[in-house]
Amino acid sequence: MTRIVVTGAAGFIGSNIIQGLNARGIRDIIAVDDLTQGDKFKNLADLAINDYVDAADFYTAFSQGAFGTVEAVFHEGACSDTMEHNGKYMMANNYAASLQLFEAAQARKTRLLYASSAATYGGSSVFAEDPAHEAPLNVYGYSKLLFDQKMRSTLGARFDGGSAQVVGFRYFNVYGPREQHKGRMASVAFHQFHQFQTEGRVKLFADYGGYGAGEQMRDFVFVDDVVAVNLWFFDHPQVNGLYNLGTGRAQAFNDVASAVVNSVRAARGEASLGLQALVAQGLIEYIPFPEALRGKYQCFTQADLGALRGAGCDHVFADVAQGVAAYAARLSGRA
């Protein structure tokens, strides 16, 4: 039987990965998390796991072989709050714990598939897995970058110098089910859906950074696609490396808002409207760009998928219209 560990198991991506593993019939899963925020249990309640271990106890126990033979660790556990300013806390959670896990996994010949972040690119205008383009804007991005750098220096540029598979995924703007606990760090689509339900409109930033109102662009990726790519690498243990995990297609915040509003309207039996009509009817509203975010905000991200495709992963990603419609259906209980 295949035994898997998922850290950050009660979190957004971790719980979706467990769901994906369950769909394959894999249930011998050690779920690792910190349930200080107790309502995160909801992300595990409908999933099949073998055991739960608190994150404070897991890393040392794993190093000591407490869980027997483990095929792979999906390491999603981290502090992902980009507005967190406590660098000591961030580095302990995102770098030191990850390094301890990596060293133990290599010693035990356990595969490690871990979450990096597009925040490692920060202010860059090129989003390819190369040190020349890495310029994090916050300590979160730096904590992720430092671990990527450690993997390069320890395993080589392709991460292929170890005893077992190591793969890092630079997640772009992920959205989808099981993110309800994230508060302000939940996706744009999540916040827009609930804002439209409560206020009857979606608010977007006005012009900033050379982009028109609502035209700032991000690479928005549906969590189902994130799970599919993680599992593709799980199925290909010979493939190592650091890979962007986005759609490769930047889309405007206007596109997300339009998809959210029109998905809700469709559920009500109302006709789909174009952007101009949505704005004219007050269903999308633009607000001044916040002073607190000036100089700290990425106006454009778009994953370069050259390395991912070069590795042989040909997964087809949902665009915003497809992914947000599916997500809105689930949020409203229609799927």
Instruction: Show the 3-state SS of the chain.
Output: CCCEEEECCCCHHHHHHHHHHHHCCCCCEEEEECCCCHHHHHHCCCCCCCEEEEHHHHHHHHHCCCCCCCCEEEECCCCCCCCCCCHHHHHHHHHHHHHHHHHHHHHCCCEEEEEEEHHHCCCCCCCCCCHHHCCCCCHHHHHHHHHHHHHHHHHCCCCCCCCCCEEEEEECEEECCCCHHHHHHCCHHHHHHHHHHHHCCEEEECCECCECCCCCEECEEEHHHHHHHHHHHHCCCCCCEEEEECCCCCEEHHHHHHHHHHHHHHHCCCCCCCHHHHHHCCCEEEECCCHHHCCCCCCECCCCCHHHHHCCCCCCCCCHHHHHHHHHHHHCCCC
- Better-scored residue on pLDDT, 302 or 293: 302
Q: What integer pLDDT is reported at residue 335 of this predicted model?
A: 57
In the chain, the percentage of residues whose pLDDT exceeds 70 is 99
Compute the average pLDDT of residues 296-315: 95
247-271 pLDDT tens trace = 999 999 999 999 999 999 999 999 9
Q: Measuring CA to CA, which residue among 58, 45, 56 is closest to residue 10?
A: 45
In the chain, the percentage of residues whose pLDDT exceeds 90 is 90
User: Average pLDDT, whole number, for the chain?
Assistant: 95
Q: Which residues pair with 251 in a beta bridge?
A: 218
Whether 1 contacts 69, CB under 8 Å: no
Lowest mean pLDDT among 89-103, 142-156, 268-282, 292-306: 292-306
Query: Model-level pTM?
Result: 0.96
Q: What integer pLDDT is reported at residue 284 of this predicted model?
A: 98
Q: What integer pLDDT is reported at residue 333 of this predicted model?
A: 80
Q: Which residues pair with 205 in a beta bridge?
A: 287
Q: What integer pLDDT is reported at residue 168 of this predicted model?
A: 98
Residue 298 pLDDT level (bands cut at 50, 70, 90): confident
Compute the average pLDDT of residues 81-107: 91
Residue 334 pLDDT level (bands cut at 50, 70, 90): low
In whole angstroms, what is the distance from residue 60 CA to residue 128 CA? Answer: 34
Backbone torsion region of residue 185, taken as left when φ is above 0, otherwise alpha when ψ lies between -120 and 50, otherwise beta: alpha
In this model, does residue 1 exceed pLDDT 80?
A: no
Which positions are annotated as active-site residues? 140, 182
132-190 pLDDT tens trace = 999 998 899 999 999 999 999 999 999 999 999 999 999 999 999 999 999 988 999 99
Backbone torsion region of residue 214, taken as left when φ is above 0, otherwise alpha when ψ lies between -120 and 50, otherwise beta: left
Q: What integer pLDDT is reported at residue 292 of this predicted model?
A: 87
24-33 pLDDT tens trace = 999 999 999 9
72-85 pLDDT tens trace = 999 999 877 777 77
In this model, does residue 296 exceed pLDDT 80?
A: no
In this model, does residue 208 exceed pLDDT 80?
A: yes
Q: What integer pLDDT is reported at residue 81 of this predicted model?
A: 74
